[in-house]
Amino acid sequence: KVNRAYNFNAGPSALPLPVLELAQQELIDFRATGMSVMELSHRSAAYEDVHNEAISNLRDLLSIPENYEVLFVQGGGSLQFSMIPMNFLQAGQKAGYIMTGAWAEKAFEESKLFGDVYEVASTKAGNYRSVPSIDELKYNATDAYVHLTSNNTIFGTQWKQFPNTGDVPLIADMSSDILSKPIDVSNFAMIYAGAQKNLGPSGVTVVIIRKDLLEKANKNIPTMLKYGIHAKNNSLYNTPPTFGIYLLGEVLKWAKGLGGIHALEKQNEAKAKLIYDAIDQSNGFYAGHAEPASRSLMNITFTLKDEAAEKRFLAEAKQAGFVGLNGHRSVGGCRASTYNAVPYETCKALSDFMVQFQKVNG
Ligand code: PMP
The single residue of 143, 177, 197, 271 carrying the catalytic annotation is 197
Q: Catalytic residue among 159, 173, 177, 226, which?
A: 173
Report the separation in Å between the CA atom of 77 and the middle of ligand 1, taken as the mean of its atom positions. Answer: 5
Respond yes or no on whether ipTM tops 0.90. Answer: yes
Note whether 18-258 and 260-361 share their fold: no
pLDDT digits (tens, 9 = 90+) for 281-319: 999 999 999 999 999 999 999 999 999 999 999 999 999
pLDDT at 28: 98
- Tell me, yes or no, if 177 is annotated catalytic: no
Mean pLDDT of 2-29: 97
CATH superfamily of domain region 260-361? Aspartate Aminotransferase, domain 1 (3.90.1150.10)
Q: What confidence score (pLDDT) does residue 149 get? A: 99
- pLDDT category of residue 1 using cuts at 50, 70 and 90: confident
> Which of 175, 206, 301, 328 is the pocket-test mutation for ligand 1 (most atoms within 8 Å of CB)?
175
Q: How confident is the model at residue 32 (pLDDT cuts 50, 70, 90)?
A: very high
Q: What is the pLDDT of residues 197-222, one digit of tens each?
A: 999 999 999 999 999 999 999 999 99
Position 329 pLDDT exceeds 90:
no
Indicate if 173 belongs to the active site: yes
pTM for this one? 0.98
Would you kindly state where each structural domain of the chain is located, as residue ranges? Answer: 18-258, 260-361
Q: Is residue 247 classed exposed, middle or buried when 0-12, 13-18 and 19+ CB atoms within 10 A define those classes?
A: buried
Which of 2, 12, 9, 13 is closest to 318 using CA atoms? 9
Under CATH, what is the fold of the domain 18-258?
Aspartate Aminotransferase; domain 2 (3.40.640)
pLDDT band at 323 (very low <50, low <70, confident <90, very high): very high
Determine the angle formed by the axes of helices 45-62 and 242-258, rounding to 10 degrees. 40
